[in-house]
Amino acid sequence: MNPILVLLPAAPAGGLIAGTAEAIGAAASIGTPIAVVTGPADALPELAEQAASFGAVRVHTAVVEGPELGAPAADAFEAAARLVQPELVLVPATVEGREAAGRLAARLRAPIAADIVGVTRDEQGVVVRHSVYGGAYDVESAATYGPLIATMRLGSIDDRAEAATPDVQPLEVTASGRRAATIERFEPVTQVSTRPDLRTAKRIVSGGRGLGSKEQFALIEQLADTLGAAVGASRAAVDAGYVDPSAQVGQTGTSVSPDLYLAVGISGAIQHRAGMQTAKTIVAIDRDASAPIFEIADLGVVGDLFTIVPQLTAALEARKG
Amino acid sequence: MKIVVLLKPVPDTYGQRVLDLETGLADRAASETVIDEIGERALEAALRHAEQAGDVEVVVLSMAPADSQSALRKGLAMGAASAVHVADERLAGADYVRTAEVLAAALRKTGFDLVITGDASTDGTGGVMAAMLAELLDAPGITRLESLEITADAVRGTRATDGGSMVVQAALPAVVSVTEALPDPRFPALRGIMNAKKKPVEQLTLDDLPLDEVGAALDETASPRSIMLSVAERPPRSAGTIITDEGDAGERIAAFLAERRLA
Ligand SMILES: Cc1cc2nc3c(=O)[nH]c(=O)nc-3n(C[C@H](O)[C@H](O)[C@H](O)COP(=O)(O)OP(=O)(O)OC[C@H]3O[C@@H](n4cnc5c(N)ncnc54)[C@H](O)[C@@H]3O)c2cc1C
């Protein structure tokens, strides 16, 4: 039945980590998705039910609460891997997901496929796909002996599984007693945003240094809201404090492949392009006609963003009627 | 106190990075190799601590081909006291686990109170190494620190995670990784560059490492954990229509988006 184990550490702010539905969807496309969920005792039943609603045919649960960082969840994931003996372990590549993948791989001495964007099966077994050097190369790899532990780039897989009837099985976990850091407190990001998640958004409006200030960056937010888009940014905009670091797109930020990427006041440095050049349609606004962003834009507009963006927002609003 | 900073030589992101279409490995002749910038930030954090606390030794460590010592030299020029270079032909194409085993064994040999790494490299983008090292070394691990404060027996800081940030602390010895939110690295001064030439670089091969202490074999070249099946280069993207604003560009973009059903 080709069991595929999906690791689901609870998100620190509550709920399942982002990317859960697509990880389970990807697992279902090549085998039987089995999830292992860790989290506080009182939240587990609901988390397990959610995992089943995304298509996990069996959900193993383990209570992980208290201030220790990383190691206790790893104990649970290790127990699940030994029990399920999966062919592939899939983990959404969020911060907690990568932590779980790294720790499990070290314990099992199992191969890691990092930041995969696709998974298929051939006669030999599971094959994973990577997008390397900012989308310049497509690489396929496979494990020679498993299980392969793959972290999955969010927003890269469209497969979704049908909801399954919850079959929840608490896991027996022996504490490893590994030394761990202590969490003193957690602070959720304050502004509760109704905007789509940058990592999985179909449309993104990104602003760069050209916006000039945090106040003026609001132009990007307004345009994004009109389009129902997520807000992105260049590193220069993040460094200047216009926007939260989680909005950074690029080499060292998030890699995105939306249907629309609208870059505003972003020159298009190679490290920025590395995170967005696989977008289906790219529109760029910049006053410098020689900005490298224009080399990859489907529509490039040379001009002042401070006049163009308000006009664009108004025109889109008008079209909405 | 001994702080070991891990530096990874990577293809310069400012240049064209090339994969060998036969092996799937980086074509190292095609682009310049530099220290990954995030490693420089990790080193900057260590050096700042060493400058204000007494009796702190900063060591830089790389696992890298024999001819890529320049990364370590730059680390020494920035101010590290010494360097450790693990180079061995049996490590060509080493995967994550192998790399973690070798670094962990090298860290055991060198000794450490604190290990600082970047959170993810610009070439592998895996973001798993610090967590793996914490496991292999049975040390507390904190990934993705946006700030850090080091004391004689602990490390503490803010960890950027999914949906918020955590204040986390760990007793030493510990392994941490840092993000780009840390201050920009310094440029090596001329004096630093001159001094670097006199600083010790310890050369190690697999035979010098206590691999058994981290449960690893000496030579794993015969049984790779994973294999590359295919590599294909994507055609580069080409430019579309470029227009200059004549007062109606906002309208024209809106029309373009509507036509493509993107608005
Ligand atoms: C290791 C490494 C990793 C990096 N990772 C990333 C990354 O993940 N993401 C990233 O973005 N960068 C990254 N960078 C930084 C990158 O090299 C650039 O510095 C950065 O992308 C520049 O951001 P920007 O385009 O906003 O700023 P700039 O390059 O300064 O561009 C601003 C643009 O705004 C335009 N402009 C100004 N005013 C107006 C106006 N009124 N109207 C219209 N246009 C205007 C200017 O013409 C200019 O083209 C990385 C660098 C390194 C070394």
* Tokens matching residue B28: 């190292």
- Tokens for B240, please give them: 């579309």
The answer to the question of residue A211 being in a domain is yes
pLDDT given for residue A191 in this prediction: 63
* Domain-located, residue B240: no
Assess if residue B156 is contained within a domain: yes
pLDDT at B31 over 90: no
State whether A7 and A112 are in the same domain: yes
User: Is B136 a residue whose pLDDT tops 80?
Assistant: yes
Q: For residue A58, is it within any domain?
A: yes
Name the β-bridge partners of A218: none
- Given pLDDT bands bounded at 50, 70 and 90, which one contains residue B236? confident
Per the structure, the complete domain to which residue A144 belongs is given by 3-175
- Check whether residue A167 and residue A225 sit in a common domain: no
Ligand 1 in contact with A33 (CB < 6 A)? no
Domain at B84, CATH number: 3.40.50.620
> B239 pLDDT band (50/70/90 cuts)?
confident
Instruction: Please enumerate, as own/partner, the contacts of A220-223 that have beta carbons within 8 Å and a separation of 24 or more.
Output: A220/A264, A220/A309, A222/A313, A223/A262, A223/A264, A223/A309, A223/A312, A223/A313, A223/A316
Task: Find all residues with CB under 8 Å of B150, minimum gap 6, and list them.
Answer: B1, B3, B49, B53, B114
Calculate mean pLDDT across residues B104-119: 98
Residue A65's Cβ-count burial label (10 Å; 0-12, 13-18, 19+) is middle
In a domain, A209, yes or no: yes
Question: In this prediction, does ipTM exceed 0.90?
Answer: yes
Instruction: Count the Cβ atoms, other than its own, within 10 Å of residue B35.
Output: 27
Residue where one domain finishes, among candidates A156, A175, A194: A175
**CATH number where A276 lies:** 3.40.50.1220
SS (H, E, C) A180-213: CEEEEEEEECCCCCCCCCCCCCCEEEEECHHHCC
What total of structural domains would you count in chain A? 2
- Residues whose CB falls within 8 Å of the CB of residue A279, separated by 6 or more in sequence, listed in order: A204, A256, A257, A258, A259, A260, A261
Pair A113, A148: CB distance under 8 Å:
yes
Are residues A167 and A51 part of one domain? yes
Asked if residue A189 is part of any domain, the answer here is no
In this model, does residue B205 exceed pLDDT 70? Answer: yes
Q: Which among A122, A155, A175 is the end of a domain? A: A175
The answer on A138 and A81 residing in a single domain is yes
How large is the average pLDDT for residues B8-16? 92
Give the domain-ending residue among A132, A158, A175. Answer: A175
Question: What was the pLDDT predicted at A192?
Answer: 62
**Residue A122 domain-assigned (yes or no):** yes
List of chain A residues with pLDDT < 50: none
- Between the CA of A294 and the centroid of ligand 1 the distance, in Å, is 13
Does residue B231 belong to any structural domain of this protein? no
Which numbered atom of ligand 1 lies nearest the CA of A304? 42
Assigned domain for A314 exists? yes
Residue at B182 is within a domain: yes
- Judge whether B176 and B141 are in contact, CB under 8 Å: yes
The verdict on residue A193 lying in a domain is: no
Please give the model's pTM, rounded to 2 decimal places.
Answer: 0.95
Four-residue CA torsion sign, B9, B14, B15, B20: positive
Among the partner-chain residues A71, A94, A301, the one whose CB lies closest to the CB of B253 is A301
| Continuous segment of H or E residues that includes residue B226 | strand B226-233
A129 and A75, same structural domain?
Answer: yes
Asked if the structure places residue B64 within a domain, the reply is yes
Residues A157 and A8 reside in one and the same domain:
yes
Q: Does B141 touch chain A (CB under 8 A)?
A: yes
Domain range holding B162? 2-222
Coil/strand/helix, residue A142: strand
CA distance B137 to B105: 9
Q: Does residue B19 contact residue A137 with C-beta atoms inside 8 Å?
A: yes
- Between CA B126 and CA B128 the distance in angstroms is 5
Residue B150 touches chain A, beta carbons under 8 Å: no
> Under an 8 A CB cutoff, do A109 and B136 touch?
no
Give yes or no: residues A276 and A152 share one domain: no
CB proximity list for A166: less than 8 A, separation 6 or greater:
A48, A49, A52, A59
Supply the CATH number for residue A94's domain. Answer: 3.40.50.620
Q: Are the CB atoms for B133 and B104 separated by under 8 Å?
A: yes
